[in-house]
């Protein structure tokens, strides 16, 4: 089984610039002007041009203002504060500043296209710190 991450964006060039600068991903392949593969995470990331207002799955129209979804990306990093600064310089929007939790340190952000993501550094116990706490 393989896992792929597809991210709809209105502008693949701008998204490529953001994701490579924010997370150190590199361009793998380009499939024309509207479809780019990024490498550097455990799963490849595919940026797909899908214009705002076009129909997505479930009858929803795509929108690129901040939106909520029950599925988001947690990017595990060594240093949350440094990763937040890098993401902000690339154009991310900080929603919840970095804070400590029993399992580590976490910050909540959004990319320039409204997709939420978290930056997370685990403590030595990680999520096991939540067991019996």
Phi, psi (deg, nearest 5) at residue 123:
-75, 175
Burial 70-89 (b: 16+ CB within 10 A, else e): eeeeebebeebeebbebbee
Fill in the DSSP letter of residue 61: B
Residues 102/123, Cβ–Cβ less than 8 Å? yes
pLDDT of residue 132 exceeding 80: no
Q: List every span in the chain annotated with CATH 3.10.180.10.
A: 1-52, 70-133
Residues 25/40, Cβ–Cβ less than 8 Å? yes
pLDDT in tens, 22-49: 999 999 999 999 999 999 999 999 999 9
Provide the whole-model pTM.
0.91
Q: Classify domain 1-52 at the CATH topology level.
A: 2,3-Dihydroxybiphenyl 1,2-Dioxygenase; domain 1 (3.10.180)
């Amino acid at each position: 089984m393989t896992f792929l991450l597809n991210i709809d964006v209105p502008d693949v060039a701008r998204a490529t610039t953001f994701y490579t600068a924010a997370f150190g991903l590199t361009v793998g392949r380009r499939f024309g002007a509207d479809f780019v593969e990024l490498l550097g995470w455990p799963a490849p990331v595919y940026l797909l041009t899908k214009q705002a207002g076009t129909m997505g799955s479930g009858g929803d129209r795509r929108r690129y203002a901040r939106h909520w979804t029950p599925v988001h990306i947690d990017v595990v990093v060594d240093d949350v504060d440094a990763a937040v600064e890098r993401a902000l310089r690339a154009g991310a929007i900080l929603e919840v500043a970095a804070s400590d939790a029993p399992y580590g340190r976490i910050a909540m952000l959004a990319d320039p296209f409204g997709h939420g993501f978290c930056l997370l550094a685990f403590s030595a116990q990680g999520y096991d710190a939540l067991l019996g706490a």
